[in-house]
A and B are shown apart, each in its own frame.
Chain A
Amino acid sequence: MATEIDPVPLAVCIFFFALVTVMGFVAARWRVPQNLASIDEWGLGGRQFGTWITWFLVGGDFYTAYTVIAVPALVYAVGAYGFFALPYTIIVYPFVFAVMPVLWKVAADRGYATSADVVHGTYNYRPLELAVAITGVLATMPYIALQLIGMAAVIKALGLTGEIPLIIAFVILALYTYSSGLRAPALIAFVKDIMIYIVVIAAVVIIPAKLGGYGAIFEKADAAFKAKGSGGITLAPAQFFPYASLALGSALAAFMYPHTLTGIFASRSGDTIRKNAILLPAYTLLLGLIALLGYMGIAAGLKVASNNDIVPELFRSQFPNWFAGFAYAAIGIGALVPAAVMSIGAANLFTRNFWKAYVNPNIDHSGEAQVAKITSLVVKFGALLVILFLPTQFALDLQLLGGLWIMQTLPALIFGLFFTWFRAPALLAGWAAGFLIGTWMAWTDGLKPLHTLAFGSTSVTLYVGLIALAINIVVAVLVNLVVPAPRVATRPAQ
């Protein structure tokens, strides 16, 4: 890695960071709301984002900076297995198309801003609402921390040392999110996404041309895995179920997170979401190409201390320095957008489903906005402390568990949209079973995403989150069958 500071890429990065900082503050005046003092305005951008804004926002928020760093790092290390991100981000969209417009409609009709709002409105049962809200916040915190890891990889590539640059970047992000709300990441997402598209398209054209074409890249990667004795450019039979279950489980979890749901709730219409389910796969194509950077790293003969350095190192070694700076800026800004939306989603949950539910039920719109704004600062500060004072592995482990946890909110959030058979206590029992047993399984496996189930002499290895979801649903069904229905309907009159 470069240890001395090269002024050209540093200058390019500072220029773009300054640009998006100005945009972040100006965003408060974008599509002039009368005032930002409500959750609908601050936390959901006025619920008026059309097809294109939603496309940039969800694209910028779902395909995060950490993805750009970590997916190629995994492909670099293990090969084909790391590619599960591609089927994952394809099959997520038919699910979004079928389910999210229904969720949007319930939320828009009744003024809900969070997943837990929807659960409370459907079942009128505070414990289930609280379970969904706490899960959302818990799963989001390490995700924000991961964005900081993505940003730190870029800062390191620029040759900067110490933690001051990371702290400055995050404090600025926190300030404009505080003042502009969701409008800031929505506006910045335009810049971020266009920059990432430019970088990736340049990378997948220029780098293979230097390395002898895609055929040569795959051959060199294949030879490297064979020499290493592990990994490969196709899957081993034992990886079939892990690959498919990781893709399916991740797809089911993806739109349960507060940051992705915030993009859904901020849409103008159900049709906006349906069109996006057709248009967002353009980013999936991009992600697949990004994943290939891992093989390009192998073909270029790069050796890195940490796999997460492979993308910055590839750009540094293959691009002119000004363009490497542009690429670093794209990744760094790519961390800001999701981090902002995540903190807003978590803040909305805290405000609506904890503060309003338990502390001040009579809070007005501007009071809600104030609580949410302060919460967004606290959430970001917490993520920063995690990165500065705890080992990086801690955030990665928590992120793994976060995916398992957030998936356990799916039955409570989604089932009620389509059928009313389940009652809230049964869903709460299912959530608790999936959450606790799943966490226990992951913990005893040494915090690995895969768990092996043995049935007599045969065994199958699956993504632990998917196993936990199955437990969750089975327990919910059993409890619903065993526990008698109350005589009075639990559904609210509203």
Chain B
Amino acid sequence: MDRNPREQRAGAGWLWWILLIPYIGLLWVPFYNHVEPKLFGFPFFYWYQFMWVPISALLTWLVYRGLDHGD
């Protein structure tokens, strides 16, 4: 390995920080350990975490789009 992927494209390094957002959103449990507000009968605890599935995929896609990926 001679190249750090974080340096793959000048100016795009900040994009990698986006990948940390799901960790913040999901690992700080007091954010979402509530029953209310409910959505379609789901307590907040559940629909909040389900919601992170598409959000996390979308954030990862944003990083993907902004990178050089030659291989």
Contact surface of A with B, Cβ cutoff 8 Å: 80, 83, 86-87, 90-91, 93-94, 97-98, 101-102, 105-106, 213-218, 233-235, 239-240, 243-244, 247-248, 269-271, 274-275, 277-279, 281, 284-285, 288, 292, 416-418
B residues less than 8 Å from A106 (CB atoms): 1
Starting from the known contacts A218-B46, A274-B69, A281-B56, 18 additional A-B residue pairs (CB-CB under 8 Å) come to: A86-B53, A87-B52, A91-B22, A93-B56, A97-B60, A97-B63, A101-B5, A106-B1, A213-B41, A214-B40, A216-B41, A247-B27, A248-B27, A269-B71, A270-B71, A271-B69, A279-B57, A418-B1
**Is the pair B20, A215 in contact by a Cβ cutoff of 8 Å?**
no
**Is the pair A91, B23 in contact by a Cβ cutoff of 8 Å?**
yes
Contact of A98 among B19, B22, B38, B57 (CB under 8 A): B19
The complex places the Cα of A189 from the Cα of B64 at a distance, in Å, of 26
**Is the pair B56, A234 in contact by a Cβ cutoff of 8 Å?**
no
Q: Is B12's beta carbon under 8 Å from chain A?
A: no
Chain B residue at minimum C-beta to C-beta distance from A94: B19
Contact of A97 among B34, B38, B41, B64 (CB under 8 A): B64
Known: A91-B26, A94-B20. A218 touches B71 (CB 8 A): no
CB A70 to nearest CB in B, in angstroms, measures: 19
**Is the pair B71, A240 in contact by a Cβ cutoff of 8 Å?**
no
Most buried by A among B19, B26, B33, B40: B26
Chain B residue at minimum C-beta to C-beta distance from A213: B41
Contact of A87 among B5, B26, B34, B43 (CB under 8 A): B26
B residues less than 8 Å from A80 (CB atoms): 33, 45
CB under 8 Å from chain A, chain B span 31-60: 33-35, 38, 40-43, 45-46, 49-50, 52-54, 56-57, 59-60
Chain B residue at minimum C-beta to C-beta distance from A99: B5
B residues less than 8 Å from A244 (CB atoms): 26-29
B residues less than 8 Å from A97 (CB atoms): 19, 60, 63-64
Chain B residue at minimum C-beta to C-beta distance from A417: B1
B residues less than 8 Å from A292 (CB atoms): 46
Chain B residue at minimum C-beta to C-beta distance from A285: B53
CB B4 to nearest CB in A, in angstroms, measures: 6
**Is the pair B69, A270 in contact by a Cβ cutoff of 8 Å?**
yes
**Is the pair A288, B56 in contact by a Cβ cutoff of 8 Å?**
no
Binding site secondary structure of chain A: helix
CB B7 to nearest CB in A, in angstroms, measures: 11
Chain B residue at minimum C-beta to C-beta distance from A419: B4
Contact of A102 among B1, B30, B53 (CB under 8 A): B1
**Is the pair B57, A93 in contact by a Cβ cutoff of 8 Å?**
yes
CB A93 to nearest CB in B, in angstroms, measures: 6
**Is the pair A98, B5 in contact by a Cβ cutoff of 8 Å?**
yes
**Is the pair B38, A105 in contact by a Cβ cutoff of 8 Å?**
no
Known: A98-B5, A278-B57. A240 touches B41 (CB 8 A): no
**Is the pair A288, B49 in contact by a Cβ cutoff of 8 Å?**
yes
Chain B residue at minimum C-beta to C-beta distance from A88: B26
The complex places the Cα of A248 from the Cα of B22 at a distance, in Å, of 11
A residues less than 8 Å from B69 (CB atoms): 101, 270-271, 274
The complex places the Cα of A97 from the Cα of B18 at a distance, in Å, of 12
Known: A94-B23, A102-B1, A244-B27. A277 touches B35 (CB 8 A): no
**Is the pair A105, B35 in contact by a Cβ cutoff of 8 Å?**
no
**Is the pair B61, A278 in contact by a Cβ cutoff of 8 Å?**
yes
B residues less than 8 Å from A277 (CB atoms): 60
Contact of A247 among B26, B43, B61 (CB under 8 A): B26
CB B30 to nearest CB in A, in angstroms, measures: 7
**Is the pair B42, A214 in contact by a Cβ cutoff of 8 Å?**
yes
**Is the pair B60, A93 in contact by a Cβ cutoff of 8 Å?**
yes
B residues less than 8 Å from A275 (CB atoms): 64
**Is the pair B29, A91 in contact by a Cβ cutoff of 8 Å?**
no
CB A417 to nearest CB in B, in angstroms, measures: 6
CB A199 to nearest CB in B, in angstroms, measures: 19
Known: A233-B35, A235-B33, A277-B60. A90 touches B42 (CB 8 A): no
Contact of A218 among B29, B41, B52, B64 (CB under 8 A): B41
Contact of A281 among B30, B33, B42, B57 (CB under 8 A): B57
Q: List 7 tightest A-B contacts by C-beta distance, closest first.
A: A215-B41, A214-B41, A94-B19, A87-B26, A270-B71, A240-B29, A244-B27
The complex places the Cα of A105 from the Cα of B19 at a distance, in Å, of 21
B residues less than 8 Å from A270 (CB atoms): 69, 71
A residues less than 8 Å from B54 (CB atoms): 281
The complex places the Cα of A83 from the Cα of B32 at a distance, in Å, of 13
**Is the pair B49, A83 in contact by a Cβ cutoff of 8 Å?**
yes
CB B23 to nearest CB in A, in angstroms, measures: 5
Chain B residue at minimum C-beta to C-beta distance from A272: B71
CB A241 to nearest CB in B, in angstroms, measures: 8
19 residue pairs A–B, Cβ–Cβ below 8 Å: A80-B33, A83-B49, A90-B49, A91-B26, A93-B57, A97-B63, A102-B1, A213-B41, A214-B41, A234-B43, A234-B45, A240-B29, A240-B33, A270-B71, A274-B64, A278-B57, A278-B60, A281-B54, A281-B56
Chain B residue at minimum C-beta to C-beta distance from A215: B41
**Is the pair B71, A271 in contact by a Cβ cutoff of 8 Å?**
yes
**Is the pair A218, B43 in contact by a Cβ cutoff of 8 Å?**
yes
